[in-house]
A and B are shown apart, each in its own frame.
Chain A
Amino acid sequence: MQVTLQGKPFTFLPEKALYNIQESILIIADLHLGKVNHFRKEGISMPLNAQQGDYLNLKHLLDKVRPAKVYFLGDLFHSDYNYDWHHFEALIGSYTDIEFTLIKGNHDFVDVEKFERLGLHIVKELLEDEYFIYSHQPVSFEHDKLNIAGHIHPGIALSGRANQSARIPCFYLYDGLLLLPAFGTLTGYCIMDRIQEAQVFAVLPGEVREI
């Protein structure tokens, strides 16, 4: 779904990512890679292949969009180094023409050097240009730009006649802040308030729709 943010054209992708068309930047939040192994290391059983979907989804998306740049809005890796790193390394290594940037989140503990060796740019808190502020957590200072952020894992609860209801992930735009849905499959949602002024874009299989 095409939208205009700050006068610039963007696409809300049903793969749970945002695309800045003019600058060819693909923006992805909250992958939480390595979660399975992190849990297993603690003696908590989670099937090893449960994370495969994330790598496949990421690969499909990169192939489909072929962006010049990718911004990861934090929580790319769930906690410290574990074997998942090798899967990630292999994936990133096969897209040498894409420039990857990680804006660090509260779960990203993998050391900076390791990322840099992969050719990833590391940004500590935020990336700012004339129109946008890209960050993991929504920024707390005053600004007149659009803050594009992750961290929250927004979702929306729908309800209708005959007591029907469903919960789905969404993009959530309100008061100078655009929240991205979490990309990782091993994540949950935070159900957002339905305030009048907020714009909600629900992520459905194959399409994004404004509610």
Chain B
Amino acid sequence: MKKQHDIAQEWFTRNNWQPHKFQQDTWDAITSGYSGLLNAPTGFGKTYAIWFGVLQAYFAKKKRPSGLHCLWLTPLRALSKEIYYSTQRVSDELGLDYDIALRTGDTSQKERVKQKKKMPHGMITTPESVHLLLAQKDYTQTFKNLEFVVVDEWHELLGTKRGVLIELALARLKALNPKLKVWGISATIGNIEEAKEILLGTEPGKNKLIRSNLEKKIQIETLLPDEIETYPWAGHLGIQLLDKILPVIHNSNTTLIFTNVRSQCEIWYQRLLDADPSLAGQIAIHHGSLGEEVRLWVENALHDGLLKAVVCTSSLDLGVDFRPVDTVIQIGSPKGVARFMQRAGRSGHQPGAISKIYFLPTHSLEIIEGSAMRYAIAHKQIEQRVPYIRSFDVLIQFMVTLAISDGFRPDELYEEVIKTHCFESISREEFNWCLAFITKGGKSLDNYDEFHKVVVVDGVYRVVSRRVAMRHRLNIGVIVSDSMLHVKYLGGKKIGMVEEWFLSRMSPGDVFWFAGLNLELVRIKDMTAFVRKSTKGKGIFPSWQGGRMSLSSQLTDAIRLKLDEYHKRKVKDIEQVKLVPLFERQEAVSCLPDVDELLIEKAKTQEGYHVFIYSFEGRNVHEGLSALLAYRIAQSKPMTFSLGFNDYGFELLSDQEIPIEEALQNGLFNTGHLLADIYASVNIVEMARRKFRDIATISGLVISNYPGKQTKTRHIQANSELFFKVFEDYEKDNLLLQEAYEEVMTFQMEQVRLMRALERMQKQKIIIKELQQLSPFCFPIFAERFREKLSNEPFEVRVRRLIEQERK
């Protein structure tokens, strides 16, 4: 039965639009009291599919309560603004008595106070801001009449701890309003059903998944070198193909050039200007370290069609549509199908328009990814988003958040949080451990203990110290960044933020590139680097850490398939054709394995003895596999390895000969004892130590933002490594420590995928080749500078040998 949708109808008619079926379905579902998830591509009106449902539910009431009626959460401030304009437009054009307000990190104090006095009907905000609202006294009043929570871009939030923030906030809000309806909006992902279940929790009420059958057409073109023979075998930059990009830019209206890391972004921007000075003033740079002002300027200029091209990073993956953009270029591997589609989707916004994306491989073997991507998209092989579970750091933060507002009772809170997907499996003992953590600082046996954070008053857990409350409020959220310095001109104008460790290596007078500018460091004072413009035209590029993504299994599957097609003489894609000389070279110096073969290459260089194994499972799994196999080999005799890996394979390097054949006979790829062996390999501790950095900050052990001056509080600053070491030595059962290990297993080792890889490798036919010269396959791994190490030699032995080597 079709329902009447008067408000929507009126507005669509006014604008001469025809609603899509998925929009009508959504309106029906919302007005019938369903919760749910809407899966639709951008640019087809998904915002209005939800919004009119919300409006109609509100105006269908006989008595319309004042106060907050709908919370709309987005992952990005820019997106919040866009939603604000779209929804406000409806209220304005139809003269509806439905106020809408924005609340993000940018919202002024004055505006916040105004909002607190009189809440709008609709509030567009971020997950962090909702938690800040939950940290206010009498927040239950604020949310008293709340009927809807809409979570926009749920697929983006789902695989992150911000998703956990949302799950927890929803659990609390549902407890306040049992009739609360929750709607998510998501792009297509491999686990869309699960995405809905996670959003709605274990007691979802009646709910629906609505999928639009609309599809955006994507056209992929790989930019190929003229001669494959001279294109480099390794590299992450791809500058050699710069002259292939220039005509693309000139023949397009506006082009977005996506790079994977910020340093690459800065370098490409410079090189484009060097190569074609006529682009000056017509191209811009955009990445996450730039100041808000700079970014806004670029975004507005993009909107107004003032720019020919913007070199950017994932900072422009999401957010507002820039209508003038008609072309996208991806530099280097996009690492995943969903990401590539999302970036492609940033071009061609007119309904029915085709999204055009160019792929620029940064080394020769990477060319195959163009072909793999086209295959994966055609066959709808899209990645799943793996949700975080049992994130005790976020739970601890949430407990303190509630403790600084109205306080909480443990029994009630426990019942609430176990209704979330994230905390469904936590036991009451584990929950109690978290309580002890915030009241007694963990297990405490000492009577003289002076720990002070959350206290219990008449069964209610509260924070009474104003200092603790203030510090907590400043640190709500789960995005942890490196210690950053502001970069400013001497006159005080902000340019952006750079990691402290980068600038700490520089002295006044040194020159570097940032925000596309050539800058001279003048001095560093109070967490600010003062700079002036330089005319030297030389300088170093800041390198930002992190962002080393792993190729998804959808893409690695497709790559294996595309390599196999060469064997089966079924080469048809232009990428494959281009690669034929490279494949022939690989076959000449080594072997090009088919889908049933596993290639192992051995080589001896002046660096030592190398073993390369090509399992094509992405760098995360290779990082884990290399550590695992090194550990197993070292069982027969003490050895030290240096491990290298990329998305295609991995390398074991040692200063002693590696007995690989012997190890293979002893079941090197066995899946038995897998977990024990993984835990025994040293790297897991290193990985956990890195994961623990975020956990320590989120749970409040390491404090990144202080009220007032930063310098005065140095004495309570300790880095996460110290906490990690201390817990490792004195409190092995600490849940936060265990969480670090579990995150490593799920997200970094990708345990499930690693297991599958081993099973496959066991079945494959093993081919061992001794290399006289490096092969096209091994060279990119050989050239990787980022390495791990594994050793089962005692620390002293290892260090002593290092000292001997240094003395020579």
Binding between chains A and B: yes
Residues on A lying within 8 angstroms of B by beta carbon are 35, 37-50, 53, 78-79, 82-83, 86, 107, 158-166, 168, 186-188, 202, 204-206, 209, 211
Q: Told that A47-B726, A48-B445, A49-B730 touch, could you supply 16 new A-B pairs with CB distance under 8 A?
A: A40-B450, A43-B468, A45-B441, A45-B451, A46-B441, A47-B734, A48-B444, A48-B446, A53-B729, A107-B715, A161-B608, A161-B805, A163-B789, A164-B798, A166-B795, A188-B719
A53 vs chain B, min Cβ distance (A):
8
B504 vs chain A, min Cβ distance (A):
11
- Are B654 and A47 in contact, CB atoms less than 8 angstroms apart? no
Encode contact with A along B182-203: 1 for CB under 8 Å, 0 otherwise.
0000000000000000000000
- Are A45 and B437 in contact, CB atoms less than 8 angstroms apart? yes
Q: Top 8 closest A-B pairs, CB basis?
A: A43-B453, A45-B441, A160-B805, A163-B642, A47-B730, A158-B802, A40-B451, A160-B802
CB contact between A166 and one of B450, B721, B802 (< 8 Å): that residue: B802
CB contact between B731 and one of A37, A47, A166, A204 (< 8 Å): that residue: A47
> Which residues from A are CB-within-8-Å of B729?
50, 53
B449 within 8 A of A: yes
- Are B641 and A44 in contact, CB atoms less than 8 angstroms apart? no
B60 within 8 A of A: no
- Are A204 and B607 in contact, CB atoms less than 8 angstroms apart? no
- Are B450 and A44 in contact, CB atoms less than 8 angstroms apart? no
| Docked CA distance A126–B723 (Å) | 33
- Are A41 and B655 in contact, CB atoms less than 8 angstroms apart? no
Which B30-66 residues sit within 8 Å CB-CB of chain A? none
Closest B residue to A41 using CB positions:
B450
A155 vs chain B, min Cβ distance (A):
12
Closest A residue to B656 using CB positions:
A162
Encode contact with A along B711-736: 1 for CB under 8 Å, 0 otherwise.
00001101101110011011100100
Closest B residue to A107 using CB positions:
B715
- Are B800 and A204 in contact, CB atoms less than 8 angstroms apart? yes
| Docked CA distance A181–B435 (Å) | 38
> Which residues from B are CB-within-8-Å of A50?
726, 729-730
B411 within 8 A of A: no
Which B726-775 residues sit within 8 Å CB-CB of chain A? 726-727, 729-731, 734
- Are A43 and B641 in contact, CB atoms less than 8 angstroms apart? no
A88 vs chain B, min Cβ distance (A):
14
| Docked CA distance A187–B384 (Å) | 42
| Docked CA distance A42–B712 (Å) | 14
| Docked CA distance A107–B714 (Å) | 10
| Docked CA distance A206–B654 (Å) | 27
- Are A47 and B799 in contact, CB atoms less than 8 angstroms apart? no
Closest B residue to A207 using CB positions:
B796
B807 within 8 A of A: yes
> Which residues from A are CB-within-8-Å of B806?
158-160, 211
> Which residues from B are CB-within-8-Å of A44?
441, 700-701, 703, 716, 718
- Are A41 and B451 in contact, CB atoms less than 8 angstroms apart? yes
Interface centre among A48, A168, A188 (most CB of B within 10 A): A48
Contact A205/B796 with A158-B802, A164-B802 known, Cβ cut-off 8 Å: yes
Closest A residue to B465 using CB positions:
A43
Closest A residue to B700 using CB positions:
A44
